[in-house]
Structure 1
Amino acid sequence: MQVIDWDLAVATGTRLVRPGPQVSREEARQAVVELRRLSREAEGYVREFTRIEAEAPPQPATVVDRPGWIRANAEGFRVVLEPLTERMANRRNPPPALLTAVGSRVTGVEVGAVLAFLATRVLGQYELFLPPDPSGQAPTGRLTLVAPNIVHAERELGVHARDFRLWVCLHEETHRVQFTGVPWLREYVRSQMTEFLLAADLDLQTLLDRLKQAVDAVADAVRGGESTLLDAIQSDEQKAVLDRLTAVMTLVEGHGDFVMDAVGPSVVPSVAEIRGKFQHRREGGSRFDRTLRRLLGIDLKMKQYAEGSAFVHAVVDAVGMEGFNRVWTSPETLPTQAEFADPAAWIARVVNPREIPSAAAN
């Protein structure tokens, strides 16, 4: 059973996505070469600063255009959704084949449209979920940089190209260091995502109810409300899982922003100008653009950057990088949602836990 027609999603996304900035063939080649070089350079800075070591050797970044990003993410989503697809296929009373076929095509068009929107905005990402490698030799994740979007952003902001590219690489390389240097982190995120998907209510009436809620969420977002599609379609059980997922993603995104800003001044001369202009760009856009960002939860991601970065700043200031790195010990040492607002509580729980007096001491 196919929940989403992925071929149609890719075809729709690549047809709808806007072309990148006008560059010559030589300018495009030089941008690709420089991004690959700067990603390797950034990895050295990040590992030295964060003191996170990985057993796997560093891999060069994969540099793509907008259609390439769409294809890569469709493959990643297919891998993530596989447990849900298998569960639906094994149901005792599966929906009629015609309904499934029509639904998968409709959803494929919708997913393709969302990918086309996002493909013009993403500068880079660490892809956690890749199709299985038959040889078993490929790395478990991949750092991807979207060259047209980076070139477009640096031109729009009017900043130094090399500085901006290195600044972006610092953030994205931090994610690669996190997920290759913390052995349990990738599997934890994968298991939480699987649990989130499998907690979905799959009966037809519930799906219809969720669809109505999604329509209401769209209407509220257009009116300027705070509704998101994710809020509209999740069950109560999924909300508990989402809290854990949000906590870990707030940490990794905030840590990425912290490292980018901490390392930046020593290797990116114009970092202050870049940060100021980029923050203004994050908050801007047309009303339509802001509505889509809110509806898709992108504004929530921006909030995660700020909350997570503030948490990392406070902890490193209080207990140093070695103390902060206790956060990577296990899932139990991750900060809770409440601890992001109260870093001292996390420090007391994880870095400086009070010893419980033994019975013999009484």
Structure 2
Amino acid sequence: MNLFRSVRTVTTASGTGYVDWHAVAEAAKASTDAGSLDLSAAEREGYAADVRDARDRLRTLGGVDFDLPDTVEIQNRHHWIDANVDTFRRVMAPIEREAPDALFPGVTRVVNTGTLSFMLAFLGRNVLGQYDPLLLAEAAPADRDHALYFVHPNIVDVADSLDVDRPRFRRWIAFHEVSHAAEFGSAPWLSDHLETKLERGIDALVSGDLDREAFRELDTAMTAVEGYAELLMDRAFDDDYADLRAKLDARRQGGGPVARLARRLLGLGLKRRQYERGAAFFRAVADARGLEGASAVWERPENLPTETELDHPDRWLARV
């Protein structure tokens, strides 16, 4: 890890765009220790077995038909940063193309490059696993090969810091990410739905406006995505992992002052709210209609809960 090299890379950002994406990746990696990927054969097989077990268990439990993405990777932190620079670049592309020329382009480029490298470095040090539906990629949603990532050094570090068994913790993360594969795999329309809302919001920003309705609908859909995954996790493990859940919930809220500020700036408090609100909705639905009833959310876009229904599951039950 070399903070001096990271700062120097940002301050010498070049090019003609609003962001020097090469510098973003290099600065984020310079300020982040890659971590070890020195896994034993047993550890690699452990990941593979956990992913397979999660697929089989969640297929049966949720009554949903899905398969795993072809791309399942065990990554270090630098691998994760590289993969997600591409995601950030896709999201920012319309803004970079259409935004008016900056008054001080060099300064703007340095500030944007520094901001994005900080975000990716912080996330790269904290993300445990990721299901990536590759939103805004060039291929049509139905033709995209979604991806599943596990950031092994972070999984090891967090398991140790929480004082939990590493294989047990790894299995928990595998089940959570495969839960997202279950959602996107059983709802082929979901990627397109999220992408449409995201594009609407970005187009409005490019035009100097704020489409609050688009971002509200995107938040509602993501709350359903996170909440359903939490429900599947609850039912897959019953009370066996209650201690681990409590420790993870505390971690989502914890950290030092800098970490808490970074989480707030990156909207991670919103993500925690999505977990909690979505989980409460789906638990109420599953208690009333079982897991297969809750899985009806993914049958078609119209079955997604509305903003109001998230807080009043009885209204969703009456409608759907």
Question: What whole-Å deviation, never above 9, does each CA across 1:3-42 have from its counterpart, x for those lacking one?
Answer: 322111101100112454xx68355x65444223311221
Q: In percent, how many aligned pairs have the same letter?
A: 32
For this pair of structures, how many residues does the alignment match? Answer: 303
C-alpha distance in 2 between matches for 1:163 and 1:310: 25
Counterpart of 2:281 in structure 1 is: 311
CA contact (8 A) 1:76 1:127 kept: no
Tell me if structure 2 keeps the 8 A contact 1:40–1:60: no
* TM-score, length basis structure 2: 0.86
Q: Is the 8 A contact 2:186 2:298 kept in 1?
A: no
In 2, Cα distance between the equivalents of 1:278 and 1:129? Answer: 26
Structure 2 counterpart of 1:124, one-letter code: G
User: Would you say 1:192 and 2:162 are equivalent positions?
Assistant: no
Secondary structure in structure 2 of the residue aligned to 1:62? strand
Structure 2: runs of 5+ lacking an equivalent:
1-15
Tell me the residue number matched to 2:222: 249
CA distance in structure 1 between the partners assigned to 2:311 and 2:241 by the alignment: 27
Q: How does 1:37-52 map to 2 (within 5 A)?
A: 37-52=49-64
* 1:78 positional shift: 1.6
Q: Which residue of 2 aligns with 1:84?
A: 95
CA-CA distance at 1:341 after TM superposition: 1.0
Gaps (5+ residues) in structure 1?
89-93, 204-234, 351-362
Larger radius of gyration: 1
CA distance in 2, matches of 1:141, 1:24: 23
User: Using the alignment, how far apart are the partners of 2:178 and 2:83 within structure 1?
Assistant: 18
Equivalent residue for 2:231, pick from 248, 258, 265? 258
How far 1:325 moved relative to its partner?
2.2
1:17 matched to 2:32? The reply is: yes
Partner SS state of residue 164, structure 2: coil
Q: 1:335 aligns with which of 300, 305, 320?
A: 305
Task: Tell me the distance in 2 between the aligned counterparts of 1:30 and 1:105.
Answer: 44
Residue 210 (structure 1) aligns with: none
Q: Which amino acid is 1:3 matched to?
A: Y
CA distance in 1, matches of 2:142, 2:45: 25
Distance 1:307-1:26 versus aligned 2 partners, 3 A rule? closer
Opposite residue 283 of structure 2, the aligned amino acid is H
What RMSD over aligned residues (CA atoms) do the two structures have, in Å?
Answer: 2.5
User: Which segment drifts farther, 179-188 or 77-86?
Assistant: 77-86
CA positional deviation for 1:290: 1.3
Range 72-81 or range 178-187, more displaced: 72-81
Give distance in 2, aligned partners of 1:182 and 1:24.
33
Query: Cα offset for 1:164?
Result: 1.2
Q: CA deviation at 1:138?
A: 7.7
Equivalent position amino acid for 1:193 in 2: L
Q: Aligned ranges for residues 1-362 of structure 1 at < 5 Å?
A: 2-20=17-35, 25-27=38-40, 30-54=42-66, 58-59=69-70, 61-88=72-99, 94-95=100-101, 99-100=104-105, 102-129=107-134, 132=138, 139-201=144-206, 235=209, 237-265=210-238, 270-350=240-320
